[in-house]
Amino acid sequence: MGRPNRPASWGDGSTSRGTGVSTLAGVSRARQEVTLTADLVILTIRDGRLCVLLVERGNEPFVGKLALPGGFLRGDESLDQTAARELAEETGVDSSSLHLQQVGVYSAPDRDPRTPRVITCAYLAIAPNLPLPTAGSDARAAAWLAVSDARRVGLAFDHDDILRDAVELARDELQFRTIATAFCHEEFTIGELREVYEVVWGAELDKPNFHRKVTDAAGFIEPTGRKRPTPNGRPAALYRAGPATVLLPPMMRARSAAS
């Protein structure tokens, strides 16, 4: 996470008029400073596996540990802008070209040993198969790692929790929104779209049933009129993302899908 010269902070010790109660904490007169960061869970599918971008930390705390990329909020930025900047720095990808949404805010007092206290807003970014990343300013290295492997290794800070929540968010969003196409290139086959669901959900889907559902969902995908050769010799029709953002009807995952 690249630290700017002056990270933004909250808290000026002010009190509510006539109450003597801190307006920040609501229960204390003590001054509190809170530093804000944005952390990114960047998901893509590589070689048939759901992968996340991780960096090896070059500085304390947790030097040498794997972590999610992220950075400190600058004084002239919103958190969304911080996330977009860090995304561009870590992947070279403009946030306007992919899916980016908030996962949640993580504020446990012991989540980061640094002072002042660090609260982070986590973001989920989804993109097609991205190239090998380059490490940021305070990272030794950056690489794609399968989500299952990342969970076994264990990440710095509370990034295991953030990763778990982001993956579960992606799984839920696939049911009700059209974000599956964000994992695909501009043109894709229905087989490639089905692979997105199978990889993210961790469950094999019935091919004819899937084909019917995605083609019946209004505005989900649109035919391009082109075809692509396949290994079995039969060309596959190519599609692109449609204008819809909500899936009607939804694509519900089975209860036995990966957790």
Residue ranges in 122-189 assigned as alpha helix (H)? 147-153, 159-176
Does one domain contain both 187 and 148? Answer: no
Q: Is 18 part of any domain? A: no
Q: Is 92 part of any domain? A: yes
Does one domain contain both 138 and 58? Answer: yes
Q: Look at phi and psi of residue 209 and say left if phi exceeds 0, alpha if psi is from -120 to 50, else beta.
A: alpha
pTM: 0.83
Does one domain contain both 227 and 204? Answer: yes
E strand map for 58-138: 66-67, 70-72, 99-106, 117-126
Q: Is 24 part of any domain? A: no
Q: Is 9 part of any domain? A: no
Tell me the residue range of the domain where 143 lies. 33-174
Q: 220 or 97, which is more confident?
A: 220
Does one domain contain both 187 and 139? Answer: no
Average pLDDT over residues 230-247: 93
Provide the 3-class DSSP secondary structure of residue 78.
coil
Q: 171 or 99, which is more confident?
A: 171
Instruction: Identify the weakest region by mean pLDDT among 139-143, 150-154, 227-231, 251-255.
Output: 139-143
Instruction: Name residues whose C-beta falls within 8 Å of residue 93's C-beta, 6 or more positions apart in sequence.
Output: 87, 127, 130
Q: What percent of the chain has pLDDT over 90?
A: 64
| pLDDT tens digits, 86-133 | 888 877 777 777 789 999 999 999 999 988 899 999 999 999 987 777
Q: 58 or 151, which is more confident?
A: 151
The count of structural domains within the chain is 2
